[in-house]
Structure 1
Amino acid sequence: MNRYQHLKIKDQLFILISLIMAVSLILIFSGVQYAFRVYDQQIYRKSSQVLMMSSKSIEDELKKIEDVSYQITTDQNIQANLLKAGRDQNKYGRYRMKREIWDQLAEFTGSKRYIKSIHLFDAFGTEYSAGASSAEALKERRNMLAEKASRQKGGNVWVTMPGANGEILSVREIRSYQNLNLDHLGIVLIVTDLQSIVADLPKDLGEGAGKIAMSDGRNAFFSESPLSRMEELRLSSPDQNGYDIVEENGQRFFISYVKSSYENWTYWSLIPFDTMFSKISAMKSILISLFILFFLTAVLFGRKMARGITSPIEKLVAAMKNVQNGDFKTKPLFVASPEHQDEVSVLNRNFITMIERINELIADNYEKQLMLKETEFKALQAQINPHFLYNTLESINWLAKTNRQPQISKMTESLGFLLRNAINMKTDVLTIEEEAEILLHYFTIQRFRFEERLMFDVEIDPLVKTCPVPKLVLQPLAENAISYCLEPVIEPCQIKIKACKEGEFVYLTVADNGPGMDEGFLEKARKGLVQTRGRGIGLQNIDERIKLMFGQRYGLNISSEKNKGTTVSIKIPFQSGVL
């Protein structure tokens, strides 16, 4: 940056023009990218709408099959035959029972188009099936399926079939409703042809949504796409809806997905990306090429333009050097006509105006210095009044001692001490020990006023006596404690002032046993919305001075409970002996 500032203006302009063009190229490229993202979002909205319609059609068919499973579990003949299972029957009785169950299952199998087969296992593990699907895989998973069905307590549960793409299981426990005992009679499994359901979607749904896939949040259990590695397409997302662009086998796909409200499934659609964006990508390349050509042209003419601009500026610089040497009567080397409104001409006229203004300011400054001297003289005169007041208080103190009035003497001494510290403008920072001394003089005066009703205790840890604090932070807190704790009641009031070190911090606390505050009033006090009854130094003022001196980590805190007193605490860093 320093090297750039040391260059001539014409070189700086040339570099600046080049940077502006480069930044413009980046902005335009970013704008094109943004337009692509907006276009992606539009495609996502459209494909998402179509995908939601497709998912609704799929789930409508699955709900019909779910109704079939419910009809099977509640069928009177099946219920009656399953109750007979396991009982002592002759061979013909057992055959007749099985025949009736098979016939019933065959009727249900033909009732819906997308049912491949129905398998029923009674409570003793005997299988009854109807349809074309093999039951070997189901037998191996029978215990797991029975456990899932049992957790649903008669409700339907959909189970995906790993390694059998295109099939999904409807599983439901059969319970006896005879006498409402709900005994376990078996489970019914309906093998559903999910592939056919998706294939039979209307074209405006299936094709508009692209190739459909389904996942259960961890793995894809159905895919209409011929892609070989569906698990690599990141078919899992914490979002309800969204889209992404992925690459598979050298081909990019636009993927949109929606979460199902029917089951814990996610529906995905895969649309070829390159065929949609080929024309837009070509237009993007043309725009970038044209802008690069324009950039090179601007760079070639940039230096020539810079030279034409900087020539009159260099003449103006020569005039400014005379001003630098203290000649405020100098004039530019050329006088610009008022008709010329270019920047250099305006700069020349402003330079003349500036010189005239500087001369005026020099004269004004001289007058202000005279006024400042006069103000300082008046301030010295104003110091006479405090000294007169101190002398008067000393006279009262001497008279009180002469007349053997120790109370008046002590009050006069304390009042003089407080007045001297309040008017002293030499420092805004005191030690905690000095603050405590001011506080003791204040309590001396208040003790004569309230007598036995005011009890106070000041405890200062010797380690923190020399720690610096802003001037007058403890006395206003004690004054507030007296105003809110002692004045409204007639009972004695105990006020405890404590300063101690805890770790790297010092805590100054003023606690009383007064009536305390309710939650509403306490919140207002913390926000600085309560006007103090004392000398006008509010809690917010103290807090701001603490933060100004030590930082935002420190400040004032108020805690109070109704009828349990109030505690005001000030947190400052431990800085022993720093003033």
Structure 2
Amino acid sequence: MFYSLRNRLILFFVTLLVLSFSTLAILLFNEARSVIRSYIESSALEKMDEYGSYVDMVQTQIYDLASLVFNSSTTEEWDSIVSNPDLGSGEKMLAHLQMSQFLTRAANSYSSVSSVSIYRQEGLWIGSGSASPMESGDFFKQEDWYTRFFAEGKHWAAAHQDQAELEQNNRHPVVSMLMPIGSFEPSRTRSVMKINIGADYFTRPLDRIHLGEKGNIYLLDENGQPLLEPSSFQISASDRERVRQIRSGPAKQGVLYVSDEQGQTSIIVYKKLAMTDWMLIGKVSEADLYANLFKLRISIIIAASVLLVTSIIVASLLSYSITKPLSRLVSAMNDIKRGDFAKAQRKIPPALPVHSEIGYVTFTFGEMTRQLNEHIKTEFELKLLRQQAEYKALLLQINPHFLFNTLELLSSLAMQKRTDDTVSVIESLGKMLRFSLHINDDLTPLKEELKYVRDYIAILRIRFGERLQINLQQQPGLDSLKTIKFILQPLIENAVKYSLPERQEAIVSIEVYRAHRHIHLVVQDNGPGMSDESIAKFLHAPSPARLEQILSSSSWHIGLGNVLARCRLYYGDSFNVHIRSRPLDEDNEQAASGTRIELMIPITENVQKPEIPDIETMKKER
């Protein structure tokens, strides 16, 4: 079927779009990236060379000024007068004034220098151009640049606010060079000279070096710390390690390509400055560097998308009569998968002429859906009817069973002329029969069920007298809970019936309590017990054949089997049962511990019965 519409469309799309535009986009993008990368590398290194020459010029002026002040006789005389304790304050004030004027003249001789100040350890400082030639106070001893100079011998201070600059209403950050006065060792001097250069002198030309739109270039000192805007210096630990390796390497400049943990590639451009151990380093991601190229690629993709949309429209016009019915059939199949046959039938397209393949598929699928829906409805209704019939049959099996036993008891009491006991049995039997007449109500309040059980216990106590010891314990607060009818009486009847022949006294205990969202109904006796085979049979849910066997059985297992079958029919998987028993040993009669049956039914509290729906109601709803 090479000439089919589907294969021709596939060939058209692959040839026109996938091959042509993919090849064009890959070649164009790779070639453009290579050109841009080469240009960026050469341009960045060239501008870094220019910036390095500029920094060397600024540093040369700073060192010249520092040498001028350090070697000046004015500085030597001022230091001598200030250090002499025998001289008066007037002479020292005159020396401060002369020194301040000298510093002002020196600072004005260099365009890059903002101010010069000298700080002494006894807590005074003198600056160029200050309103007062001498200031007192040891505030500067707490400054980072001061403590690091004496502790680490650090001669350069990164961009910061300076008190001398603030005195002149200059709030711009400065970069400072520190130099001891009178000695080259910071530990042997009492005065330190601080030359301030406006950080703008470094940042303005540095801002003209661009690495993409968001790439950053940093000026680092000899320790790898930023000199300009330290707060904006945010690089990862791996990048810091790369800076350390670059600094310790022999290369003066270069370009590195690195990848981060997310697999994104970045470009690092670096240059070591000649005069000091400073270094320029810049980093930019390829995504930022090739932003314009990515925009070009997006434009190509848009152009390809326009052609794709045009091709799809043309192809849609050709295949509309095929794809639309098939899409509706697929949607109808999904609804059928979820079981919504009515919605699926609404989505099935109208049948086309039978000689068309699509028309034949549509017609066949619609007929199959209709027949399958009818079949499922019929089977579901039959299953519900069968379930209701089984449950009602099991319920009807209980009522005659205890009634016959009670009538036999009344006959015996009448023959013995025990009038009071006969009256009590008749009253209890009447209450039980009145309760039993409501056979259409599957659920009953637990309080009513236990009242029914107490009436039955009253009959048993009259029947067996001192040979029966029976006790019922109920946890408080269970009156609002509901359970299915006649769930305890058959178990109590079996416990009494099969305990008395083996024991002088039958002991039966009944316990009702609530735990873990279930009602626990426990009946325990001291009878002969049950075999493991019998217990295993009751613990497994009965098949339909087993239900028929229970309904037709007349054995002593009818009570327990009936109760378990009804619970499983009504509660399904939410119901559970535990049976614990030790069979009677003929050689050791005391070894038997009786049987303990524990029913765990889900809590139902003031709700309508949902488990066994009414078929007639369902038919009306349909």
Q: Which has the larger radius of gyration?
A: 2
* Fold match by TM threshold 0.5: no
